[in-house]
Amino acid sequence: MSSAPLIGVLALQGGVREHLGSLVHAGAHAIAVHSLEDLEAVQGLVIPGGESTVMSKLAIQDGLIEPLRAARATGLPMFGSCAGMIMLANRVSDAREDQEFIGGIDIAVRRNAFGRQVDSFEMDLEVQGIGGTAFPAVFIRAPWVEEVGSEVQILSTIAAGPRAGTIVAVQQGPLLATSFHPELTGDIRIHATFVEIVRQYA
């Protein structure tokens, strides 16, 4: 395949533009995915941060939830940040009762897990496989990972402080997820990792 894969960003709701920019900097072609036709065109898909309850509602309304699950089941690489991690988790605590997910990563996550007092914060993290220095991670009403299945690779945990040991980045085959927002920092190393995953699985 060409060295610049075509990667979509699910554009129902959330931080679409920032992900498009990061993907292009990381060497991909990038388009916003609004429809089934768009979804069928891409070789990988980013599920952005935002609000997973709203994203779920719009995906159902637009008839995209089943096609997204089908695309995932046939091996389309996906990267979810924050709300996107929630969308890709197999088990979600503190979800709305009518909330639907794409699923695929054998993890249990808890929505809004860091609590009200720490709605958003920044933290330098060691992330496996990205090389170099620590990654500047921005967390905004973020989920955390409470359980991981045996197929899941843990890429990052919080190193110190009251939340030490909390899992905040995982990969399972072509599926990548972070509790935080790499699209907001200008550091494209996690997007570059996803571009590599897409190349590898295409």
Give 43 or 138: the residue with its C-beta nearer to ligand GLN: 138
Under the binding rule (CB under 6 A), the answer on residue 51 touching ligand GLN is yes
Query: Pick from 68, 86, 102, 137: which binds ligand GLN (CB under 6 A)?
Result: 86
Shortest separation between residue 52's beta carbon and ligand GLN, angstroms = 3
Q: Which of 19, 82, 100, 191 is catalytic?
A: 82
Least distance from C-beta 29 to ligand GLN, angstroms? 25
HEC assignment per residue over the chain: CCCCCEEEEECCCCCHHHHHHHHHHCCCEEEEECCHHHHHHCCEEEECCCCHHHHHHHHHHCCCHHHHHHHHHCCCCEEEECHHHHHHEEEEECCCCCCCCCCCEEEEEECCCCCHHHCEEEEEECCCCCCCCCEEEEEECCCEEEEECCCCEEEEECCCCCCCCCEEEEEECCEEEECCCHHHCCCCHHHHHHHHHHHHHC
Residue 183 annotated in active site:
yes
Applying CB under 6 A, the site for ligand GLN has a residue count of 11
Does position 80 interact with ligand GLN (CB under 6 A)? The reply is no
**Residues found near ligand GLN in the complex (CB under 6 A):** 49-52, 82-83, 86, 111-112, 140-141
Which positions are catalytic? 82, 181, 183
